[in-house]
Structure 1
Amino acid sequence: MKVQVLLRTEGELAVVVGEAEGETWPEMQTVLPALLRGVADRVEAHGEVPDAAP
């Protein structure tokens, strides 16, 4: 099983910003928060994000 986190912004192509592979869904669920945090970090690096969770 493979999970990819894509970031697509208006007017730009989608970019893979995180991915993980595992054998089971529970295994994948353990890495998903880190992948999503990586997306948030990448977005926040480009300036303040209104209403963003810490």
Structure 2
Amino acid sequence: MKVEVLLQTAGQLAVVVGEAEGDTWPEMRAELPALFRELAEAIEKTSDGGEVPHAPA
């Protein structure tokens, strides 16, 4: 079993920012917090602090 965390911003191709492999769901579930931290760090690096285009008010 493999889980990949992807980051795709507008107009860009998706990029794998984290991945984990395991034989069982409990093994994979244990890896999820670290994968989400990697995703959060990737988002923080790409954030320009501006408004999101086309976002609802």
TM-score range, shorter chain: 0.7 to 0.9
The answer to whether structure 1 residue 29 and structure 2 residue 36 are counterparts is: no
After TM superposition, the score normalised by the length of structure 2 is 0.76
Gaps of 5+ in 1: 50-54
After TM superposition, the score normalised by the length of structure 1 is 0.80
SS in structure 2 of the partner of residue 17 of structure 1 = strand
| Cα gap change, 1:18 to 1:25, in 2 (>3 Å) | same
Deviations 1:1-54 (A, max 9, x none): 0000010110000000000100000110000110011110111123476xxxxx
Indicate the structure (1 or 2) with the bigger Cα radius of gyration.
2
Gaps of 5+ in 2: 50-57
Aligned residues: 49
Moved over 4 A (4+): none
What is the root-mean-square deviation of aligned Cα atoms in Å?
1.5
